[in-house]
Amino acid sequence: MKKINALANLLSNALFYVALAAGALMMLHVTVDVASRTFLNYPLPGTGEITATYYMIALAFLPLAWVTLRDEHVTADIFIGSLPGPLRHVIAVLVDVLVIIYVSAFVWQSTLSALARTRRGEVWEIIGGYLPVWPTRWFLPVAGGAMALVMIFRLLARLTGHKIETGEAK
Amino acid sequence: MDALTFGLTTLGIILGLIALRVPIGVALGVVSVLGLAYVRNFNVAWSILRETPFTFAANWDLTAIPMFLLMGAIANHSGISTALFRAARLWFSALPGGLAVAANMASVGFAAACGSSLASAAAMGRLAIPEMLRAGYDRALATGVVASAGTLAAVIPPSILLVLYGVFAEVSISRLLVAGVIPGLLTGLAYTMLILIRCWMNPQLAPRLDDNELQTLKAERMRSLREIWPVIALIGGVVGGLYSGIVTPTEAGAVGAALALLIAVLQGRINMEGVAASLKESMSATAQIFFVGMGAVMYTRLLSLTGVSGLLADMMSGFAGDPILVILAISAIYLILGMFLDPLGIMLITMPVFLPMIKALGLDLIWFGIIVVKYVEIGMITPPLGMNVFVVKSVVGDKVPIWTIYRGVGWFLLAEVFVMALLIIYPQITLFLPELMR
Amino acid sequence: QNPIYGSWPPASDYLNTDALPEAFEQIEKEVGTKWELISGGQLADGRGTLSAVADGLMQAGLQIPVYNPDAMPSLTLLYSIVVPGDNTVAVAAAAAETVFLNCPSCIEESKDNNVVPFGGFASASYRLMCTSAISSMADLNGKRVRATGGFAEMATMSGATPTSTTLTDTVGLLQKGGLDCLMATREWLQTYGYGEYAKFVTDLPLGNSAPALGFLLNRDVFTEMSEEEQIAAMRASARITARHTISNYVLRDEESFQNQVAENGVELVAPADDLRALVEGFAATDRERLIKAGEQLGVADPATLIDNYFAAIEKWKPIAAEIGNDVDAFSERLWTEVFSKVDASSL
Ligand code: NA
Ligand code: NA
């Protein structure tokens, strides 16, 4: 389990750091565009489209495995806390399975979508040409796949009683 | 099955799943996919799952959410917002519930720079809640005030939601933004009154500081004002950029984040670790929020397909011609939808039905915009799907159960009843400032 | 289950209030099918419409080809052509004729996407609308102009800086000086409230563009129709083209402009000769860029497609003069000249 845990950490961290870079780049790119438009009378072509299709997609999806490993998805612990321990355990296992199924379906469908877009070479029109958009379509199955793997690891950890390490102090 | 039965059934299933601690994004997504397979077929259901997530996230207007979150996180890690809360604390601490009042007032100030209520609740939550809990404040009050006062960021300009409404309603965005100022301040005032009355009647909610401490705090008041220049610079930069036309309301988030970073660097108050921590907080929060948002949009598509617009229109048709009844019915519908949907979903479902009605009744679309945004923001704090509450919950972690936060928010909803009544009965409150612009 | 049209423009758009309801009424009268209209982007936004129609989430929608250039290269190329002058009716008709009779790749790519490209309409001729009076290239030099596609190219050639700000951002930028001009139909002055700030309209039609597909229909739905139903769908296509082009883009464009003159004091500015010459010569100079863009997108023979389109426009100019502003006459001519010659089974 320890090895799998380390792998889960590695995978979720790697994707998360790409998302952090996308966040930083988004801030810089938009700010430089504003400055360039205002002071140099030269708006950077395609800023809005690049922001929407590259940075946004990266930072919306790539952190999912990281968030999942820490069980930080938005949930409401309204009802479950009052149940007896064993029942709670069974429900938690079933919920994990449901999440794994849902995310796997998402990976399957977003892979189909990415394949179709790649074959067609999806582009968006920007001033002075076309921006290739198909590469970021792959962020979805990659991020979803990582999330599904981490979720499977969480389920294994739950079943074996392994305590998940994220490598940071809580 | 008619639209109403279908809507209620799917809602029931979603609530059931949420109660079993299924992530809310998954609960919404699963029900949407299976619901679409039920009313249409699996082709359509898979299509929604295939297309919606990318389309939802690849949206320029939504870029403001991660960027305002980032701005808030940088402001926290560099002490910019700490100074704001500190000053508010020094000035209001003598009042009953002084720290809660301070958190509320700091949120009002922060709202002038921040266009997203989630970002505001996250920023203020990290600062003010630990302070209040340390001082022995009631947990429901401490978390409730931050979740509720966060909503002010969407009413006081800049505001992502007001811009979105402007798109739908095709009204002047600049007038719309200005119209939010007084209703936002009014809400802040109502919250303050509520805190004062509650803590005055029940001092146990908020233990008062001892006299010695109060004296030292008083002595520091003037000095604290000198320390808030970074906040003033941040707000001034964002508002100035907006009103001079240099930045658009959407860009304000990114430029605000860069400005906060610049101020922090100039002050020497942030290092690489601080920047990394800010990015981590804001990007993981964005992914959490968007994961729910995608589910909510899928669910919106399902409701639309099963005729929710027709349902709303039918419900309203009995009141056609009577503006008061129409507004009351609209209020009820927003309160109900606000419980289950995210802002974008609510806007998508209601705008096509309500805007023509409001126009036909000759009511002012700018005034209606403020009413809509107020209601959508109230939806951000009502159970079970209260995004602001979720954000506060993610800040406090296991220390406070989510139900306690909702209980704290409940009191502020009481204040909202009063504010909404005033805004609806006296449209001049909203329209006074935009009329001056003409 | 009634078929559903998912429309992304706001409920108040002329397409939703008049053009589509009229066409759906006509279909119901002819074959009894009841179309349901869900507006305001509840089911899909502009970019998502193609897959939403193709996958059957909704059975029809409004498609702007340039939102999905890779999926509809030929239609995108057609849409990207700026036709000089101001002949909205002729351009709309020529686009329909080209798509259905003279552009096999337009039909082929629609089939690939599981859609039928019905109901194409043409926008009114774009105008240069600014916050200060602009008459010459010298005036326009260094100005920030909101423009897209071919018009962005035109802006660049005139020495201005084109930007692609969103429709909502635009109003604030115009007000505060972040933008000086926009190139758009005059109707936008009213619809998006730009007339408050962009008060100077240069009196020079920059050109029309087409087709926006007002009735993009799911192909499975179409092929499963009876022959009468297919004919009704094609008649509805002609009706949408005629109604939306004439009533929205010819009449309302002028009407809303007059409104803006009365309400906001919008005024006309006479163009100088150099600006006039630039616009007149634009189609010729832009040809090379269009061919390159078409090749980049994978259109087999962009030059021929462009030539066919311009030939069709010349053919329709005298007919358009006959039609004037008569929607019924336009709809009828579209039927006799175009749709009656279309073999439905080939779509
Ligand atoms: Na704000
Ligand atoms: Na809610």
Lowest mean pLDDT among A160-164, B54-58, B95-99, C166-170: C166-170
CA dihedral of residues B111, B116, B120, B126 (deg, nearest 10): -160
Residue B112 Cα to ligand 1 middle (Å): 5
Mean pLDDT throughout B93-120?
89
Whether C168 and B246 lie within 8 Å, measured CB to CB: no
Is C262 exposed, middle or buried, given 0-12, 13-18 or 19+ CB atoms closer than 10 A?
exposed
Q: According to the model, what pLDDT value does residue B219 have?
A: 79
Does pLDDT of B86 surpass 90?
Answer: no
Does pLDDT of A169 surpass 60?
Answer: no
pLDDT band, residue B79 (cuts 50/70/90):
confident
CA distance A133 to C67: 12
Residues of B in contact with A29 (CB under 8 A): 254
CA distance C255 to C258: 5
B8 in a structural domain: no
Report the residue from B171, B242, B348 with minimal CB separation from C40.
Answer: B348
Residues 6+ apart with CB under 8 A from A97: A155
Does pLDDT of C50 surpass 70?
Answer: yes
- For residue B399, the distance in angstroms to the closest alpha carbon of chain A comes to 13
My answer on whether omega of the bond before B53 falls inside 30° of 0, hence cis, is: no
- For residue B179, the distance in angstroms to the closest alpha carbon of chain C comes to 15
Closest CA to B13 of B377, B289, B302: B302
Closest CA to B181 of B161, B150, B149, B159: B159
Q: According to the model, what pLDDT value does residue A170 have?
A: 46
In this predicted model, what pLDDT tens digit does every residue of B183-234 receive, in sequence order?
999 999 999 999 999 999 999 998 877 777 778 777 788 788 888 888 889 8
Does pLDDT of B324 surpass 90?
Answer: no
Neighbours of A79 (CB within 10 A): 15
B283 in a structural domain: no
B275 in a structural domain: no
Measured between CA atoms, the residue of chain A closest to residue B394 is A72
Q: What percent of chain C has pLDDT over 70?
A: 100
Q: Is C119 helix (H, G, I), strand (E, B) or coil?
A: strand
CA distance B249 to B64: 8
In this predicted model, what pLDDT tens digit does every residue of B375-392 receive, in sequence order?
999 999 998 888 899 889
Residue B107 Cα to ligand 1 middle (Å): 10
Does pLDDT of C86 surpass 70?
Answer: yes
The dihedrals phi and psi of C213, each to the nearest 5 degrees, come to -90, 105
Residues of C in contact with B306 (CB under 8 A): none
CA distance C93 to C101: 12
B169 in a structural domain: yes
Domain boundaries, chain A: 2-160
Mutate to test the interface with B, among C17, C18, C42, C55 (most CBs of B within 10 A): C42
Whether B163 and C168 lie within 8 Å, measured CB to CB: yes
B287 in a structural domain: no
B27 in a structural domain: no
Residues 6+ apart with CB under 8 A from C146: C162, C163, C164, C165, C170, C173, C179, C181, C182, C183, C184
Mutate to test the interface with A, among B20, B55, B339, B385 (most CBs of A within 10 A): B20
In this predicted model, what pLDDT tens digit does every residue of A27-50 receive, in sequence order?
999 999 999 988 888 889 899 999
Report the residue from A37, A42, A123 with minimal CB separation from C70.
Answer: A123
Q: According to the model, what pLDDT value does residue C171 have?
A: 80
Whether A126 and C164 lie within 8 Å, measured CB to CB: yes
Segments forming the whole domain that contains residue B185: 62-270+307-436
Residue A71 zone, left/alpha/beta (φ > 0; ψ -120 to 50; rest): left
CA distance C180 to C163: 11
The residue ranking higher by pLDDT, B350 or C146, is C146
Residue B182 Cα to ligand 2 middle (Å): 24
- For residue C6, the distance in angstroms to the closest alpha carbon of chain B comes to 9
In this predicted model, what pLDDT tens digit does every residue of A72-91 receive, in sequence order?
887 776 677 778 889 999 99
My answer on whether omega of the bond before C10 falls inside 30° of 0, hence cis, is: no
B138 in a structural domain: yes
In this predicted model, what pLDDT tens digit does every residue of C103-140 receive, in sequence order?
999 999 999 999 999 999 999 999 999 999 999 999 99
**Chains touching C (3+ CB pairs < 8 Å):** A, B
Report the residue from B18, B241, B282 with minimal CB separation from A23.
Answer: B282
Structure pTM?
0.91
- Identify the residue whose tokens are 């006459």: C329
Helix or strand run (H / E) with residue C267: strand C267-269
Using an 8 Å Cβ cutoff, are A37 and C163 in contact?
A: yes
Residues of A in contact with B67 (CB under 8 A): 26-27, 30
Quickly list DSSP for B200-249.
Answer: HH-GGGSPPPPHHHHHHHHHHHHHHHHHTHHHHHHHHHHHHHHHTTSS-T
CA distance B187 to C223: 57
pLDDT band, residue B438 (cuts 50/70/90):
low
Q: DSSP letter at C298?
A: T
How far CA B44 is from CA of A64, A117, C54, C55, C117, in Å, comes to: 25, 18, 10, 6, 21
How far CA C272 is from CA of A44, A148, C147, C179, C267, in Å, comes to: 30, 64, 21, 22, 16
Please check whether residue A120 touches C, CB under 8 A: yes
Does pLDDT of B174 surpass 80?
Answer: no
Using an 8 Å Cβ cutoff, are B142 and B100 in contact?
A: yes
| Structural domains of chain B, count | 1
What distance lies between CA C226 and its chain's CA centroid?
A: 30
Quickly list DSSP for C152-213.
Answer: HHHHHHTT-EEE---HHHHHHHHHHTS--EEEE-THHHHHTSGGGT--EEES---BB---EE
Helix or strand run (H / E) with residue B56: helix B42-57
Q: Supply C83's token pair.
A: 């036709």
The dihedrals phi and psi of C161, each to the nearest 5 degrees, come to -110, 110
